[in-house]
Amino acid sequence: MNNQIAIQIIINYTESAKALRENTAAVMSFNGSVQGTDFEALWQERDMIYHRWQNAAASLRELPTEYMSLAVRAIDEI
């Protein structure tokens, strides 16, 4: 695995983790009806973000050990 691919995997994970946190905050603070289209759109976005995060986490677990310190540092900065 080359350095560029490893860095992209780490970036994908951190970006999707941030997006999942932001979406979780939006879901938790939602003041409208959960039966409405606004909440449905928010929940559909959550599904997409969650799957992206899950795929990124699976890729992260496959990183060679020499890239783990970079991954841990990036995750700590989230």
Domain ranges of the chain: 3-76
In angstroms, rounded to a whole number, what is the distance separating the alpha carbons of residues 31 and 73? 36
In angstroms, rounded to a whole number, what is the distance separating the alpha carbons of residues 49 and 19? 7
In angstroms, rounded to a whole number, what is the distance separating the alpha carbons of residues 65 and 22? 29
Tens digit of pLDDT for each residue in 44-68?
Answer: 999 999 999 999 999 999 999 999 8
3-state secondary structure of 5: helix
Show the tokens assigned to 4. 């560029």
**Prediction pTM value:** 0.84
Question: Percent of the chain at pLDDT above 70?
Answer: 100
pLDDT at 36: 85
